[in-house]
């Protein structure tokens, strides 16, 4: 009996495994009938097999959903809005079957964008779809277009009386900070390639493609950031902000979050000369002494012309700050005070601290370039060396243009101006300096290589 039972089990196992193998082979064939025409963008043919593949072989390969999304997007772009529901189902199935390989925030944002682009639902429903995407997975919600639409809808809803102005301000901060974070990631990657290029390394074609992609995406983010500012418009100007916060001050003066937000907004928009800002800072310092209050006190001292006291507060604020982006903004203020005081070496140290946190901060690179150029007479020995300092200034201006498209035009113009002040071909030839390396003096330090003729 035991032998019979074992033989029966063995026969069942062979039959079952054979069945699974046959089923697997069947799915391979069905998937291929969908993916092969989809790869060739023959979506009409691919669509004939899509439903069967999803129904019978939903976990065969993620390619089903990748090609499915492209197929439905193509149909929608060509005017078939009936495919929007199928696209949504496709994306949700991908999230269901391949959660580890799917960025949920990215997918949900894409779905929200499709509904917005095709005018499906009310503005509030469209906004809520983006809001859900961001709150579900902010890390992978990184589309510049999606972030702009998210904010744009909030502003439109405020205009229509469906959102408070404070909600618009809060989202503006969220969106701008997210864009700066994404820019920072891109700039950091780009900087690594720039450093290798400047060190004389020949980059591969693959590396150059990556560099171009990072620069292109930085340009897109720069443009979208400008669009977000344009969309916000004058509702964030001091004449609108001050009355808004003054009206609610007495009622909310013990609400630490409200006080912190109001002071931050007025500070960010340079509305610091209004007495309300002083009230807010003093109240905030009473309720919660912090890095922010020290920064605001520094701003007030700077406004009074007390540079040394302002720097003292800024230094305290930077030391207390835990938010890297806020810390970078404080370092920039310190750098500016140092630059205005003529202590360029110290100023560069703080601009570099900004760049450590935000590699895409072209302003800091451009300021360093300006300081270097203005130091040419004191940081070079011979007349030729003094003019050569301008090559170093041009290097920093060039880098500013590459990592920060928002100031690229000004940075490129500055770089051209610095090169115009540097030795020209005839000077290089007369001095016999082609290809030589010049060590730079004083606070600038480092060296520049004279171009070959």
Per-residue model confidence as pLDDT tens for the chain (453 residues): 455 544 444 433 333 334 334 445 788 888 999 999 999 999 999 999 999 999 999 999 999 999 999 999 999 989 888 888 899 899 889 989 998 888 989 999 999 999 999 888 999 999 999 999 999 999 999 999 999 999 999 999 999 999 988 889 889 989 988 998 999 999 999 999 988 888 888 989 999 999 999 999 999 998 998 899 899 887 878 888 898 899 889 999 999 988 988 888 888 788 888 899 989 988 988 898 888 888 888 888 888 888 888 889 898 998 888 888 888 989 998 999 899 989 999 999 999 999 998 899 999 999 999 999 999 998 888 999 999 999 999 999 999 999 998 899 999 999 999 999 999 999 999 989 999 999 998 999 999 999 987
Please provide residue 35's backbone torsions phi and psi, each rounded to the nearest 5 degrees: -70, -35
Using CA atoms, how far residue 390 sits from 139, 382, 438, 447, in Å, is 41, 14, 12, 11
Residue 261 resides in a domain: no
Using CA atoms, how far apart are residues 182 and 442, in angstroms rounded to an integer? 36
Asked if residue 54 and residue 5 are part of one domain, the reply reads yes
Residue 358 resides in a domain: no
Question: Is 315 within 8 Å of 350 (Cβ atoms)?
Answer: no
Asked if residue 91 and residue 150 are part of one domain, the reply reads no
Question: Is 130 within 8 Å of 163 (Cβ atoms)?
Answer: no
Total Cβ atoms within 10 A of residue 424: 12
CATH of the domain at 81: 1.25.40
Residue 44 resides in a domain: yes
Question: Is 154 within 8 Å of 173 (Cβ atoms)?
Answer: no
Asked if residue 5 and residue 70 are part of one domain, the reply reads yes
Residue 393 resides in a domain: yes
In the block, tokens 């906004």 appear at: 127
Query: Which residue from 77, 71, 134 is spatially nearest to 107, judged by alpha carbons?
Result: 134
Query: What is the predicted pLDDT for the residue at 291?
Result: 87
Using CA atoms, how far apart are residues 366 and 38, in angstroms rounded to an integer? 48
Please provide residue 447's backbone torsions phi and psi, each rounded to the nearest 5 degrees: -155, 165
- Which structural domain, as residue segments, surrounds residue 91? 1-102
Please provide residue 137's backbone torsions phi and psi, each rounded to the nearest 5 degrees: -155, 80
Asked if residue 172 and residue 75 are part of one domain, the reply reads no
Query: What is the predicted pLDDT for the residue at 265?
Result: 84
Asked if residue 132 and residue 91 are part of one domain, the reply reads no
DSSP 370-428: HHHHHTTTTS-SSHHHHHHHHHHHHHHHHHHHHH-GGGHHHHHHHHHHHHHHS--HHHH
Asked if residue 4 and residue 76 are part of one domain, the reply reads yes
Question: Is 366 within 8 Å of 334 (Cβ atoms)?
Answer: no
Q: What is the count of structural domains for the chain?
A: 3
Residue 332 resides in a domain: no
Last residue of a domain, one of 87, 102, 117: 102
Last residue of a domain, one of 182, 213, 231: 231
Using CA atoms, how far apart are residues 405 and 391, in angstroms rounded to an integer? 21
Residue 121 resides in a domain: no
Last residue of a domain, one of 171, 201, 231: 231
Using CA atoms, how far apart are residues 438 and 304, in angstroms rounded to an integer? 43
Asked if residue 37 and residue 4 are part of one domain, the reply reads yes
Residue 122 resides in a domain: no
Using CA atoms, how far apart are residues 378 and 247, in angstroms rounded to an integer? 54
Core vs surface per residue 297-334: b (16+ CB within 10 A) or e: bbbbbbeeeeeeebbebbbbbbebbeeeebbbbbbbbb
Using CA atoms, how far apart are residues 18 and 21, in angstroms rounded to an integer? 5
Asked if residue 134 and residue 94 are part of one domain, the reply reads no
Asked if residue 144 and residue 80 are part of one domain, the reply reads no
Determine the Cα angle at 151 with ends 146 and 155, to 5°: 145
Total Cβ atoms within 10 A of residue 93: 16
Residue 438 resides in a domain: yes
């Amino acid at each position: 009996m035991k032998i019979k039972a074992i033989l029966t089990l063995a026969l069942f196992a062979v039959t079952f495994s054979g069945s699974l193998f046959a089923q697997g082979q069947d799915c391979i064939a069905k998937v291929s009938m969908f993916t092969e025409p989809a790869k060739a963008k023959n979506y009409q043919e691919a669509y004939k097999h899509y439903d069967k593949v999803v129904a019978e072989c939903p976990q065969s390969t993620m390619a089903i959903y990748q090609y499915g999304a492209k197929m439905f997007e193509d149909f929608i772009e060509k005017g078939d809005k009936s495919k929007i529901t199928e696209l949504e189902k496709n994306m949700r199935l991908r999230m269901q079957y391949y959660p580890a390989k799917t960025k949920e925030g990215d997918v949900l944002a894409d779905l929200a964008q499709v509904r917005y682009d095709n005018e499906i639902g009310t503005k509030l429903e469209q906004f809520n779809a983006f809001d859900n995407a961001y709150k579900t997975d902010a890390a992978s919600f990184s589309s510049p277009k999606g972030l702009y639409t998210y904010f744009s809808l909030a502003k439109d809803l405020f205009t229509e009386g469906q959102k408070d102005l404070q909600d618009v301000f809060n989202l503006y901060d969220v969106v701008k900070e997210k864009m700066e974070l994404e820019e920072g990631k891109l700039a950091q990657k780009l900087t690594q390639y720039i450093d290798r290029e400047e060190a004389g390394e020949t980059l591969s074609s693959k590396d150059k493609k990556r560099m171009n992609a990072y620069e292109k995406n930085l340009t897109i983010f720069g443009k979208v950031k400008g669009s977000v500012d344009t969309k916000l418009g004058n509702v964030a100007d001091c004449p609108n902000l001050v009355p808004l916060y003054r009206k609610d001050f007495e009622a909310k003066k013990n609400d630490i979050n409200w006080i912190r937000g109001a002071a931050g907004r007025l500070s960010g928009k340079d509305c610091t000369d209004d007495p309300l800002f002083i009230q807010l800072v003093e109240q905030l310092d009473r309720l919660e002494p912090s890095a922010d209050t020290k920064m605001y006190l520094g701003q007030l001292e700077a406004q009074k012309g007390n540079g040394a006291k302002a720097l003292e507060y800024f230094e305290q604020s930077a030391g207390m700050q835990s938010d890297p982006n806020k810390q970078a903004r404080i370092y920039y203020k310190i750098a500016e005070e140092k630059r205005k005081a003529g202590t360029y070496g110290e100023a560069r140290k703080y601009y570099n601290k900004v760049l450590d946190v935000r590699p895409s901060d072209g302003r800091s690179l451009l300021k360093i370039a300006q300081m270097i150029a203005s130091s040419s007479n004191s940081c070079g020995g011979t007349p030729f060396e003094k003019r050569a300092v301008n090559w170093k200034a041009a290097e920093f201006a060039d880098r500013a243009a590459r990592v920060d498209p928002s100031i690229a035009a000004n940075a490129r113009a500055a770089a051209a101006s610095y090169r115009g002040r540097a030795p020209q071909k005839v000077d290089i030839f007369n001095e016999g300096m082609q290809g030589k390396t010049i060590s730079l003096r004083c606070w600038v330090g480092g060296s520049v290589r004279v171009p070959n003729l």
